Structure 1
Amino acid sequence: MIVDITIANFRSIKDKQTFSLYAENQSSHLEDNIVYPGDTKYGVHRTAGVYGANASGKSNLLLAFMALRYVATSSGDLKEGDKINYEPYLLSNSTKNAPIEFEIEFFLKDGLRYLYNITYNGSQILTESLDYYPSRSKANLFKRLESDTWEDITFGSHYKGGKKKIAFFKNNSYLSKAGNSADSPEIIREIFNFFRQDFSHAAATSNIGAFGWKKDPEMISVVSKILNKVDTGIVDIEFEDDKDVLKNYKFPDSISESIKKEVLEELSKKAFFSHIDDHFEKVLFDKDLESTGTLKLFEMLPVLLKTFEKGGVLLLDELDNSFHPHIAELIIKLFNSKEVNKKNAQLIFSTHNLNLMSPKIFRRDQIWLTEKNNGSTLITSLDEFNKNTVKMNSPFNKWYDDGRFGAIPEIDFYAISKAICNKGKNNA
Structure 2
Amino acid sequence: MLLEFKTKNYRSFKDTTTFSMQPAPKQTGLDYSVQTEQIVQKEGKLKEIKGLCSAVIYGPNAAGKTNLIGAMDTMRAIVLRGNIQNASEHSSPNEAAYSLELIPNNLGEKACTEFAIRFTESNLLIEYTLKLDLGNFLEVDYPRRIVEECLSVNDKLIFSRGKTLEVFLLAPIKQYVNKSIKRKTAKTMDIARSSLSDTELFLNNGFKTIFAKDLVALILKWFDEKFMVIYRADAIKVMRKFANPKENTVYIERTLTDAAKAFGVRSNALGYRQAADSDDVSLCSIFEDKKIAIQADAYESYGTIRFINEFPLVINAILNGGTLVMDEFDASIHPMALMNIINIFHNDEINIHHAQLIFNTHNPIFLDASLFRRDEIKFVERDEKTNQSVQYSLSDFRTADGIRKGEDYMSNYFVNRYGAITDVDFAPMLEEIVSANSEVNSHD
Q: TM-score range by the shorter chain?
A: 0.7 to 0.9
In 2 relative to 1, CA 218–179 (structure 1 residues): closer, same or farther, beyond 3 Å?
Answer: farther
Query: Secondary structure, in 3 states, of the residue corresponding to 2:340?
Result: helix
Task: State the secondary structure of the residue aligned to 1:205.
Answer: helix
Cα-to-partner distance string for 1:3-42 (whole Å, 9 max, x where unaligned): 1112110010011111111012576622111110117543
Indicate the residue corresponding to 2:9 in structure 1.
Answer: 9
Relative to structure 1, the CA distance from residue 269 to residue 68 in structure 2 (aligned partners, 3 Å threshold; closer, same or farther) is: closer
- Alpha carbons 1:50, 1:58 under 8 Å: kept: yes
**1:36 and 2:36 correspond:** yes
SS in 1 for 2:105: coil
Match of 2:233 in 1: 204
In the alignment, is residue 387 of structure 1 matched against residue 415 of structure 2?
no
Structure 1 residue aligned with 2:270: 237
**Sequence identity, in percent?**
22
CA-CA distance at 1:214 after TM superposition = 10
Output the amino acid matched with 2:76.
R
Shift of 1:105: 1.6
**2:353 corresponds to 1:343:** yes
Task: Determine the structure 2 residue equivalent to 1:102.
Answer: 115
Equivalence for 2:253: 220
> SS of the residue aligned with 2:412?
helix
Amino acid at match of 2:364: L
The answer to whether structure 1 residue 59 and structure 2 residue 63 are counterparts is: no
For 2:425 and 2:283, locate their aligned partners in 1 and report how far apart those are by CA, in whole Å: 47
Report the Cα distance in structure 1 between the residues aligned to 2:68 and 2:427, rounded to whole angstroms.
32
**What is the CA–CA distance in structure 2 between the aligned matches of 1:273 and 1:141, rounded to whole Å?**
54
Distance 1:153 1:42, change over 3 A: closer
Measure, in 2, the Cα distance between the counterparts of 1:331 and 1:213: 28
> Could you tell me whether the CA contact under 8 Å between 1:201 and 1:315 is conserved in 2?
yes
SS of the equivalent of 1:359 reads: coil
The one-letter amino acid paired with 2:374 is R
| 2:328 matched residue in structure 1 | 318
2:100 paired residue number? 85
**Are the counterparts in 2 of residues 236 and 273 from structure 1 also a CA contact under 8 Å?**
yes
Residue type at the aligned position of 1:359: A
Q: Sort the Cα spacing of 1:185 and 1:371 in 2 relative to 1 into closer, same or farther, 3 A.
A: same
Corresponding residue number in structure 2 for 1:254: none
SS for the counterpart of 1:352 is coil
SS of equivalent residue, structure 1 residue 120? strand
Q: 1:186 Cα shift?
A: 2.6
Q: CA deviation at 1:411?
A: 2.1
Shift of 1:365: 0.5
Decide whether aligned partners of structure 1 residues 66 and 76 sit closer, same or farther in structure 2, where only a CA change above 3 A counts. same
- Whether the aligned pair in 2 keeps the contact of 1:200 and 1:315 (CA below 8 Å) is yes
Mapped partners of 2:381, 2:212: distance in 1: 43
* Paired residue type of 2:147: L
Report the equivalent of 1:120. 132
Q: Does 1:352 align with 2:362?
A: yes
1:139 equivalenced with 2:156 (yes/no): yes
Aligned to 1:257: none
User: Does the 8 A contact of 2:84 with 2:100 survive in 1?
Assistant: no
Paired amino acid for 2:56: G
Q: State the 1:356 CA deviation.
A: 1.6
Indicate which of 280, 284, 302 corresponds to 1:292. Answer: 302
With 392-401 and 368-377 compared, the bigger mean Cα shift is at: 392-401
Tell me how far apart the structure 1 counterparts of residues 256 and 301 of structure 2 sit (CA, whole Å).
16
Query: SS at 1:296's partner residue?
Result: helix
Q: How many residues align?
A: 389
Deviation, 1:129, is 0.8
CA distance in 2, matches of 1:213, 1:408: 46
Name 1:193's counterpart in structure 2.
Answer: 221
Check conservation: 1:359, 1:396, Cα contact below 8 A.
Answer: yes
Deviation of 1:198 (Å): 2.0
The one-letter amino acid of 1:227's match is A
- Where do 5+ consecutive residues of structure 2 fail to align? 40-46, 87-97, 135-143, 182-187, 245-249
Does the residue aligned with 1:170 lie in a helix, a strand or coil?
coil
- After superposition, the C-alpha distances for 1:114-133 in whole angstroms (9 at most, x for unaligned) are 22211002201000111232
Return closer, same or farther for 1:346/1:10 CA change in 2, 3 Å cut-off: same
Q: Are 2:84 and 2:199, in contact at CA under 8 Å, matched by a contact in 1? A: no
Residues 1:143 and 1:238: Cα distance change in structure 2 (over 3 Å) = closer
Give the SS at the match of 2:270: strand
The answer to whether the Cα contact below 8 Å between 1:131 and 1:139 also exists between their aligned partners in 2 is yes
**Unpaired runs of at least 5, structure 1:** 247-263
The amino acid that maps onto 2:68 is L
Contact kept in structure 1, 2:9 and 2:104, CA below 8 Å: yes
Contact 1:213 1:302 in 2 (8 A): no
Match of 2:410 among 388, 397, 414: 397
Deviation at 1:67, TM superposition (A): 1.5
SS in 1 for 2:253: helix
* CA shift in 2, pair 1:177/1:197, >3 Å: farther
Give the Cα–Cα distance (whole angstroms) in 1 for the partners of residues 334 and 242 of structure 2: 25
Residue 5 of structure 2 aligns to which amino acid in structure 1?
I
Q: In 2, Cα distance between the equivalents of 1:41 and 1:26?
A: 17
Instruction: Tell me if 1:169 matches 2:213.
Output: no
**Structure 1 counterpart of 2:185:** none
